[in-house]
Amino acid sequence: MIALLHHLLTAPMPPAAGEAIASLEALRARTREAAAAFPVPFDCAAVTAFASDRVAFAFAAGYQAALHTLLPALPTDVAVSLCATEEGGAHPRAIATRLEAADEGFVLRGKKRWSTFAPAADALLVVASVGADEGGKNRLRLVRVDAKAEGVRIDPMPPTPFAPELPHAELTLEGVRIRGEDVLEGDGYDRYLKPFRTIEDLHVFGALIAHVLGVARALSWPHDIALELAASLVTFRAMALSDPTAPELHIALGGALAHIRALLDRATPLFGAAPDETRTRWERDRALLGIAGTARAKRLQAAWAALDGADR
Protein backbone atom coordinates (compact mmCIF):
# COMPACT_ATOMS: atom_id res chain seq x y z
CA MET A 1 0.00 0.00 0.00
CA ILE A 2 2.77 2.45 0.93
CA ALA A 3 4.60 1.74 -2.34
CA LEU A 4 1.43 2.53 -4.29
CA LEU A 5 0.81 5.78 -2.39
CA HIS A 6 4.46 6.78 -2.77
CA HIS A 7 4.22 6.33 -6.53
CA LEU A 8 0.97 8.28 -6.87
CA LEU A 9 2.17 11.12 -4.66
CA THR A 10 5.73 11.48 -5.97
CA ALA A 11 6.04 10.03 -9.49
CA PRO A 12 6.83 12.53 -12.26
CA MET A 13 3.68 13.74 -13.97
CA PRO A 14 3.01 13.17 -17.69
CA PRO A 15 4.39 14.35 -20.01
CA ALA A 16 7.52 14.62 -17.84
CA ALA A 17 7.33 10.84 -17.38
CA GLY A 18 6.61 10.28 -21.07
CA GLU A 19 3.41 10.83 -23.00
CA ALA A 20 0.22 10.32 -21.01
CA ILE A 21 -1.81 7.27 -21.94
CA ALA A 22 -3.96 8.48 -24.82
CA SER A 23 -4.89 5.27 -26.65
CA LEU A 24 -5.90 1.69 -25.93
CA GLU A 25 -2.56 0.47 -27.28
CA ALA A 26 -0.69 2.76 -24.87
CA LEU A 27 -2.98 1.62 -22.07
CA ARG A 28 -2.07 -2.02 -22.65
CA ALA A 29 1.63 -1.24 -22.84
CA ARG A 30 1.56 0.76 -19.59
CA THR A 31 -0.49 -1.97 -17.89
CA ARG A 32 2.22 -4.52 -18.71
CA GLU A 33 4.88 -2.20 -17.31
CA ALA A 34 2.88 -1.47 -14.17
CA ALA A 35 2.11 -5.15 -13.51
CA ALA A 36 5.82 -5.91 -13.29
CA ALA A 37 6.25 -3.50 -10.38
CA PHE A 38 2.75 -3.68 -8.88
CA PRO A 39 1.48 -7.28 -9.18
CA VAL A 40 -1.74 -6.70 -7.17
CA PRO A 41 -4.37 -5.94 -9.87
CA PHE A 42 -5.83 -3.00 -7.92
CA ASP A 43 -2.40 -1.38 -7.64
CA CYS A 44 -1.61 -2.00 -11.30
CA ALA A 45 -4.90 -0.35 -12.31
CA ALA A 46 -4.28 2.65 -10.07
CA VAL A 47 -0.77 3.23 -11.47
CA THR A 48 -2.07 2.89 -15.03
CA ALA A 49 -5.08 5.16 -14.43
CA PHE A 50 -2.81 7.76 -12.80
CA ALA A 51 -0.94 8.05 -16.10
CA SER A 52 -4.10 8.11 -18.24
CA ASP A 53 -5.26 11.34 -19.83
CA ARG A 54 -9.00 10.59 -19.64
CA VAL A 55 -11.72 8.81 -17.66
CA ALA A 56 -12.31 6.16 -20.33
CA PHE A 57 -8.81 4.72 -20.03
CA ALA A 58 -8.89 4.89 -16.23
CA PHE A 59 -12.15 2.93 -16.34
CA ALA A 60 -10.61 0.41 -18.72
CA ALA A 61 -7.65 -0.10 -16.37
CA GLY A 62 -10.00 -0.75 -13.46
CA TYR A 63 -12.21 -3.04 -15.54
CA GLN A 64 -9.27 -5.22 -16.59
CA ALA A 65 -7.98 -5.35 -13.01
CA ALA A 66 -11.42 -6.44 -11.80
CA LEU A 67 -11.54 -9.34 -14.27
CA HIS A 68 -8.03 -10.44 -13.33
CA THR A 69 -9.07 -10.35 -9.67
CA LEU A 70 -12.14 -12.43 -10.48
CA LEU A 71 -9.96 -14.93 -12.38
CA PRO A 72 -6.42 -14.80 -10.92
CA ALA A 73 -5.19 -17.48 -13.35
CA LEU A 74 -5.57 -15.12 -16.32
CA PRO A 75 -2.18 -14.04 -17.68
CA THR A 76 -1.53 -10.39 -16.86
CA ASP A 77 -0.92 -9.52 -20.51
CA VAL A 78 -4.29 -10.87 -21.71
CA ALA A 79 -7.05 -8.29 -22.19
CA VAL A 80 -10.51 -9.71 -21.53
CA SER A 81 -14.19 -8.82 -21.86
CA LEU A 82 -17.05 -10.16 -19.72
CA CYS A 83 -19.95 -10.86 -22.07
CA ALA A 84 -23.23 -11.22 -20.19
CA THR A 85 -25.81 -8.71 -21.43
CA GLU A 86 -28.25 -9.83 -24.12
CA GLU A 87 -31.29 -8.26 -25.75
CA GLY A 88 -33.31 -8.84 -22.58
CA GLY A 89 -30.59 -7.63 -20.21
CA ALA A 90 -28.10 -9.38 -17.94
CA HIS A 91 -30.47 -10.98 -15.42
CA PRO A 92 -29.93 -14.76 -15.23
CA ARG A 93 -33.35 -15.47 -16.74
CA ALA A 94 -32.49 -13.23 -19.73
CA ILE A 95 -29.45 -15.30 -20.75
CA ALA A 96 -30.37 -17.23 -23.91
CA THR A 97 -26.84 -17.96 -25.22
CA ARG A 98 -26.49 -21.75 -25.07
CA LEU A 99 -23.61 -24.04 -24.22
CA GLU A 100 -24.35 -27.55 -25.50
CA ALA A 101 -22.40 -30.79 -25.30
CA ALA A 102 -20.75 -31.95 -28.53
CA ASP A 103 -18.08 -34.39 -29.63
CA GLU A 104 -14.86 -33.73 -27.71
CA GLY A 105 -16.24 -30.73 -25.86
CA PHE A 106 -19.01 -28.19 -26.28
CA VAL A 107 -20.56 -25.80 -28.79
CA LEU A 108 -21.51 -22.20 -27.98
CA ARG A 109 -24.32 -20.34 -29.76
CA GLY A 110 -25.92 -16.99 -29.08
CA LYS A 111 -25.64 -13.21 -29.12
CA LYS A 112 -24.45 -10.60 -26.64
CA ARG A 113 -24.70 -6.80 -26.52
CA TRP A 114 -22.73 -4.05 -24.79
CA SER A 115 -19.72 -6.28 -24.19
CA THR A 116 -17.25 -3.82 -22.70
CA PHE A 117 -13.75 -3.85 -24.23
CA ALA A 118 -14.64 -6.74 -26.55
CA PRO A 119 -13.32 -5.05 -29.73
CA ALA A 120 -9.86 -4.86 -28.11
CA ALA A 121 -9.94 -8.12 -26.14
CA ASP A 122 -7.80 -11.21 -26.58
CA ALA A 123 -10.29 -13.42 -24.73
CA LEU A 124 -14.01 -13.32 -24.03
CA LEU A 125 -15.68 -14.54 -20.84
CA VAL A 126 -19.14 -15.55 -22.00
CA VAL A 127 -22.04 -16.23 -19.64
CA ALA A 128 -24.10 -19.04 -21.18
CA SER A 129 -27.03 -21.25 -20.25
CA VAL A 130 -26.82 -25.03 -20.00
CA GLY A 131 -30.58 -25.38 -19.57
CA ALA A 132 -33.08 -25.07 -16.75
CA ASP A 133 -33.00 -27.05 -13.51
CA GLU A 134 -35.94 -28.98 -12.02
CA GLY A 135 -37.44 -25.76 -10.69
CA GLY A 136 -37.13 -23.93 -14.00
CA LYS A 137 -34.13 -21.82 -12.94
CA ASN A 138 -31.71 -20.98 -15.72
CA ARG A 139 -28.37 -22.74 -15.04
CA LEU A 140 -25.42 -20.65 -16.12
CA ARG A 141 -21.73 -21.30 -16.76
CA LEU A 142 -18.84 -19.01 -17.59
CA VAL A 143 -16.96 -19.92 -20.76
CA ARG A 144 -13.52 -18.70 -21.84
CA VAL A 145 -13.40 -18.03 -25.59
CA ASP A 146 -10.53 -16.92 -27.83
CA ALA A 147 -11.68 -13.65 -29.39
CA LYS A 148 -10.34 -14.84 -32.75
CA ALA A 149 -11.90 -18.31 -32.63
CA GLU A 150 -13.84 -19.59 -35.61
CA GLY A 151 -17.51 -18.70 -35.27
CA VAL A 152 -16.90 -15.55 -33.20
CA ARG A 153 -18.00 -12.26 -34.73
CA ILE A 154 -17.38 -9.00 -32.87
CA ASP A 155 -19.22 -5.94 -34.20
CA PRO A 156 -18.27 -2.64 -32.52
CA MET A 157 -21.25 -0.68 -31.24
CA PRO A 158 -21.63 3.10 -31.67
CA PRO A 159 -19.67 5.19 -29.13
CA THR A 160 -21.55 6.11 -25.97
CA PRO A 161 -22.24 9.80 -25.16
CA PHE A 162 -19.73 9.63 -22.28
CA ALA A 163 -16.32 7.95 -22.28
CA PRO A 164 -16.74 7.20 -26.03
CA GLU A 165 -13.17 5.88 -26.25
CA LEU A 166 -14.21 2.85 -24.16
CA PRO A 167 -15.24 0.28 -26.79
CA HIS A 168 -18.32 -1.95 -26.65
CA ALA A 169 -19.50 -4.61 -29.06
CA GLU A 170 -22.25 -6.90 -30.17
CA LEU A 171 -21.05 -10.48 -30.08
CA THR A 172 -22.33 -13.26 -32.32
CA LEU A 173 -21.37 -16.85 -31.50
CA GLU A 174 -22.13 -19.27 -34.30
CA GLY A 175 -21.28 -22.84 -33.32
CA VAL A 176 -18.02 -21.93 -31.51
CA ARG A 177 -16.14 -25.06 -30.44
CA ILE A 178 -15.30 -25.03 -26.74
CA ARG A 179 -12.86 -27.31 -24.90
CA GLY A 180 -13.93 -28.78 -21.59
CA GLU A 181 -11.17 -26.95 -19.72
CA ASP A 182 -12.52 -23.62 -20.98
CA VAL A 183 -15.84 -24.11 -19.18
CA LEU A 184 -15.03 -22.67 -15.77
CA GLU A 185 -16.02 -24.51 -12.63
CA GLY A 186 -18.95 -23.27 -10.57
CA ASP A 187 -22.23 -21.48 -11.18
CA GLY A 188 -21.91 -18.75 -13.78
CA TYR A 189 -24.01 -16.30 -11.81
CA ASP A 190 -23.29 -16.96 -8.13
CA ARG A 191 -19.56 -17.57 -8.51
CA TYR A 192 -18.73 -15.09 -11.28
CA LEU A 193 -21.31 -12.61 -12.55
CA LYS A 194 -22.83 -11.54 -9.21
CA PRO A 195 -19.55 -10.97 -7.31
CA PHE A 196 -18.01 -9.30 -10.36
CA ARG A 197 -20.41 -6.38 -10.03
CA THR A 198 -18.89 -5.61 -6.62
CA ILE A 199 -15.32 -6.33 -7.73
CA GLU A 200 -15.80 -4.05 -10.74
CA ASP A 201 -17.06 -1.16 -8.60
CA LEU A 202 -14.08 -1.44 -6.27
CA HIS A 203 -11.47 -1.53 -9.02
CA VAL A 204 -13.06 0.96 -11.40
CA PHE A 205 -13.66 3.57 -8.71
CA GLY A 206 -10.18 2.93 -7.32
CA ALA A 207 -8.76 3.60 -10.77
CA LEU A 208 -10.86 6.74 -11.17
CA ILE A 209 -9.63 8.03 -7.80
CA ALA A 210 -6.01 7.50 -8.91
CA HIS A 211 -6.73 9.27 -12.20
CA VAL A 212 -8.20 12.30 -10.45
CA LEU A 213 -5.29 12.31 -8.01
CA GLY A 214 -3.03 12.64 -11.05
CA VAL A 215 -5.11 15.59 -12.27
CA ALA A 216 -4.95 17.14 -8.78
CA ARG A 217 -1.17 16.94 -8.75
CA ALA A 218 -0.81 18.20 -12.31
CA LEU A 219 -3.04 21.23 -11.61
CA SER A 220 -1.72 21.88 -8.07
CA TRP A 221 -5.12 21.50 -6.43
CA PRO A 222 -5.41 22.24 -2.69
CA HIS A 223 -3.84 19.55 -0.53
CA ASP A 224 -7.13 18.84 1.26
CA ILE A 225 -8.52 17.32 -1.96
CA ALA A 226 -5.42 15.16 -2.44
CA LEU A 227 -5.66 14.06 1.20
CA GLU A 228 -9.21 12.83 0.75
CA LEU A 229 -8.42 11.17 -2.56
CA ALA A 230 -5.49 9.29 -0.99
CA ALA A 231 -7.61 8.22 1.98
CA SER A 232 -10.39 7.04 -0.33
CA LEU A 233 -7.89 5.05 -2.40
CA VAL A 234 -6.71 3.24 0.74
CA THR A 235 -10.33 2.45 1.64
CA PHE A 236 -11.16 1.05 -1.80
CA ARG A 237 -7.95 -1.01 -1.89
CA ALA A 238 -8.71 -2.59 1.49
CA MET A 239 -12.19 -3.51 0.31
CA ALA A 240 -10.84 -4.85 -2.99
CA LEU A 241 -8.82 -7.41 -1.01
CA SER A 242 -11.91 -8.51 0.96
CA ASP A 243 -14.72 -11.01 0.31
CA PRO A 244 -16.89 -9.42 -2.43
CA THR A 245 -19.96 -11.42 -1.32
CA ALA A 246 -20.03 -10.20 2.30
CA PRO A 247 -22.99 -7.93 3.15
CA GLU A 248 -20.74 -6.00 5.53
CA LEU A 249 -18.51 -5.11 2.60
CA HIS A 250 -21.49 -3.90 0.56
CA ILE A 251 -22.53 -1.55 3.34
CA ALA A 252 -19.02 -0.13 3.64
CA LEU A 253 -18.84 0.17 -0.14
CA GLY A 254 -22.13 2.06 -0.19
CA GLY A 255 -20.67 4.60 2.21
CA ALA A 256 -17.38 4.84 0.32
CA LEU A 257 -19.15 5.41 -2.98
CA ALA A 258 -21.33 8.15 -1.49
CA HIS A 259 -18.22 9.85 -0.11
CA ILE A 260 -16.21 9.71 -3.32
CA ARG A 261 -19.12 11.00 -5.42
CA ALA A 262 -19.49 13.97 -3.05
CA LEU A 263 -15.75 14.59 -3.15
CA LEU A 264 -15.67 14.54 -6.95
CA ASP A 265 -18.64 16.93 -7.04
CA ARG A 266 -16.62 19.30 -4.84
CA ALA A 267 -13.58 18.87 -7.06
CA THR A 268 -15.40 19.44 -10.35
CA PRO A 269 -15.16 23.28 -10.24
CA LEU A 270 -11.37 22.89 -9.95
CA PHE A 271 -11.37 21.42 -13.46
CA GLY A 272 -12.08 24.99 -14.59
CA ALA A 273 -8.34 25.65 -14.43
CA ALA A 274 -7.53 22.56 -16.50
CA PRO A 275 -6.66 22.65 -20.22
CA ASP A 276 -9.79 22.88 -22.36
CA GLU A 277 -9.57 19.28 -23.53
CA THR A 278 -9.21 17.90 -19.98
CA ARG A 279 -12.08 20.03 -18.66
CA THR A 280 -14.39 19.15 -21.56
CA ARG A 281 -13.70 15.42 -21.18
CA TRP A 282 -14.39 15.51 -17.45
CA GLU A 283 -17.68 17.37 -17.91
CA ARG A 284 -18.70 14.84 -20.55
CA ASP A 285 -17.49 11.68 -18.83
CA ARG A 286 -18.39 12.16 -15.17
CA ALA A 287 -21.85 10.75 -15.99
CA LEU A 288 -20.09 7.38 -16.00
CA LEU A 289 -20.01 7.57 -12.18
CA GLY A 290 -23.79 7.24 -12.02
CA ILE A 291 -24.15 4.17 -14.23
CA ALA A 292 -25.71 1.14 -12.46
CA GLY A 293 -26.94 3.30 -9.59
CA THR A 294 -30.18 1.33 -9.32
CA ALA A 295 -28.33 -1.98 -9.08
CA ARG A 296 -26.05 -0.57 -6.39
CA ALA A 297 -29.06 0.64 -4.38
CA LYS A 298 -30.62 -2.82 -4.54
CA ARG A 299 -27.33 -4.42 -3.50
CA LEU A 300 -27.11 -2.11 -0.49
CA GLN A 301 -30.73 -2.79 0.46
CA ALA A 302 -30.10 -6.54 0.26
CA ALA A 303 -27.00 -6.18 2.46
CA TRP A 304 -28.94 -4.37 5.17
CA ALA A 305 -31.69 -7.00 4.96
CA ALA A 306 -29.13 -9.81 5.31
CA LEU A 307 -27.61 -8.25 8.42
CA ASP A 308 -31.01 -7.43 9.91
CA GLY A 309 -31.94 -11.08 9.43
CA ALA A 310 -28.73 -12.21 11.13
CA ASP A 311 -29.71 -10.22 14.23
CA ARG A 312 -32.89 -12.18 14.67
Which DSSP helix (H) or strand (E) runs through 131? strand 123-132
Mean pLDDT, all residues of the chain: 93
Burial tier of 218 (Cβ tally within 10 Å: 0-12, 13-18, 19+): middle
Whole-angstrom distance, CA of residue 61 vs CA of residue 44: 8
Q: Is the pLDDT of residue 22 over 80?
A: no
- pLDDT category at 311 given cuts 50, 70, 90 is low
Concatenated DSSP letters for 12-75? Answer: PPTTTTSSPB-SHHHHHHHHHHHHHH--SHHHHHHHHHHTBSSHHHHHHHHHHHHHHHH-TTS-
**Angle at Cα 65 formed by Cα 197 and Cα 224, nearest 5°?**
90
Overall average pLDDT of the 180-201 stretch: 96
pLDDT at residue 17 in the model: 47
For the chain, count helices (H), then strands (E). Answer: 9, 7
The residue ranking higher by pLDDT, 63 or 312, is: 63
Greater pLDDT, 294 or 247: 247
Q: What percent of the chain has a predicted confidence (pLDDT) above 90? A: 82
216-236 mean pLDDT:
95
> For residue 134, what pLDDT is reported?
86
Band the pLDDT of 14: cuts 50, 70, 90: low
For residue 117, the tally of other CB atoms under 10 A from its CB is 22
Write the CB contacts of 37 (distance below 8 Å, at least 6 apart in sequence).
47
Query: What pTM did the predictor assign?
Result: 0.95
Residue 262 confidence (pLDDT) = 95
Percent of the chain with pLDDT over 70: 97
Distance CA 221, CA 231 (A): 16
21 has a pLDDT exceeding 80:
no
Q: Which domains does the chain have, with CATH numbers?
A: 2-70+191-310 (no CATH), 80-183 (2.40.110.10)
CB 107 within 8 A of CB 162: no
The model's pLDDT over 197-206, given as tens digits with 9 standing for 90+, comes to: 999 999 999 9
CB 297 within 8 A of CB 238: no
Distances (CA, A) of 46 to 63, 94, 208, 250, 303: 11, 34, 8, 21, 27
pLDDT score at 105 = 92
pLDDT category of residue 291 using cuts at 50, 70 and 90: confident
